[in-house]
Amino acid sequence: MLNMLKVDFIRLRKSSAFWLLLFGMLIIAFVFMIIQKTAMDYSVPLSRVIFLPMSMYGLAVSAFISTFVGTDFSDGFIRNKLLFLNNRNNYVISQIIVCCTACAIVYVIITAFSAGVGYFFFENNVKGIDFIRFFLLGFGTSLVSGCLFCVITILCRNKTRAIICCMGLAFLTLVLAMHTNSILVQTMYKSGILNPNYIDGFRRALISILHDLNPCGQASQLSSWKVWHPIRMMIMDIILICSLSTLGCLVFQRKDIN
């Protein structure tokens, strides 16, 4: 598997899809900073800028991974790789490692770019320890996104189908995150009056868990600089990565590769 990882990392370095993802996210981060600086009628703090590009991260990553991994199936490389590895589980794990690494690299560069450039144009309200804490949470989110879309692509076994499924899921999770976030940010009282849209008890706990399970839900918390349950989010990221990897291995073992 080490040789396969080496080959795939070389392919990643030469992949136009990867570089398009990186430069595309840099452009998105730059545009978001311009909007926050020029279009808002109030002073925007740095904390609201650093992780703002993460709102588009899922869509961008889904397009990249479905294209990058899907090429193995569309070009027929998958048969040679499976013969070389002689173990389908190794193939799944190697692809997950490469995709998660790519997502992590892009995440680190985008976050560093937003923090570095934003420092000179926005009010700095970010403490070092808080930045490290939020950065690590976002790092986990990037790994979950890479693992999720990699497994979906592998199980689709068709690049076109994978692109549709991955981008469709990315859009769905984005819409769902917007919905759950709009519920969770409701306060019990508004202008001294009981807010009818506020929920608590079991419903709030359930929606909060769904929000933390959703990579876009995690991204929305990071961009607003308000993570309600950081420890739970980290635990869920670990559970999601392990569960998705196991599911990918089990299902791919039974797939008929033509």
Mean per-residue pLDDT, 164-190 = 90
pLDDT at site 48: 87
Comparing 240 with 74, the larger pLDDT belongs to 240
- How many folded domains does the chain comprise? 1
pLDDT at site 232: 92
Element (DSSP H or E) covering residue 194: strand 193-194
- Within the chain, where are the H helices? 2-14, 16-38, 47-50, 57-74, 77-85, 88-118, 128-156, 159-184, 201-213, 215-223, 230-253
Mean per-residue pLDDT, 109-122 = 93
Quote the tokens at residue 116: 């570095």
In this predicted structure, the answer to whether residue 121 has a pLDDT above a threshold of 70 is yes
Per-residue model confidence as pLDDT tens digits over 126-168: 888 999 999 999 999 999 999 999 999 998 878 889 999 999 9
Taking Cα atoms as reference points, which of 88, 91, 86, 131 lies closest to residue 8? 91
pLDDT at site 50: 93
The 10 Å Cβ neighbour count of residue 231 is 9
In a domain, 258, yes or no: no
194 has which bridge partners? 189
The 10 Å Cβ neighbour count of residue 179 is 14
In a domain, 73, yes or no: yes
In this predicted structure, the answer to whether residue 77 has a pLDDT above a threshold of 70 is no
In this predicted structure, the answer to whether residue 215 has a pLDDT above a threshold of 90 is yes
Quote the tokens at residue 231: 């420890």
> 241 near 147, Cβ under 8 Å?
yes
In a domain, 87, yes or no: yes
Find the range with the poorest average confidence among 85-89, 134-138, 140-144, 243-247: 85-89
DSSP assignment, residue 130? Answer: H
* Strand 193-194 relative to strand 189-190, pairing: antiparallel
In a domain, 94, yes or no: yes
Side-chain-side CA neighbours of residue 115 (13 Å): 18
Largest CA distance in the chain: 68
The pLDDT > 70 percentage for the chain reads 94
In a domain, 9, yes or no: yes
pLDDT at site 256: 66
Find the range with the poorest average confidence among 17-21, 40-44, 62-66, 149-153: 40-44
Per-residue model confidence as pLDDT tens digits over 151-160: 999 988 788 8
Taking Cα atoms as reference points, which of 152, 142, 158 lies closest to residue 92? 152
Q: Name the pLDDT band for 16 (thresholds 50, 70, 90).
A: very high
- 61 CB contacts (<8 Å, ≥6 apart)? 21, 103, 106, 142, 145, 146, 149, 170
Mean per-residue pLDDT, 201-210 = 90
pLDDT at site 4: 76
Quote the tokens at residue 236: 């869920």
In this predicted structure, the answer to whether residue 62 has a pLDDT above a threshold of 80 is yes
Question: Containing domain of residue 60, as a range?
Answer: 2-253
CA 31 to mean position of chain CA atoms:
20
Mean per-residue pLDDT, 23-51 = 88
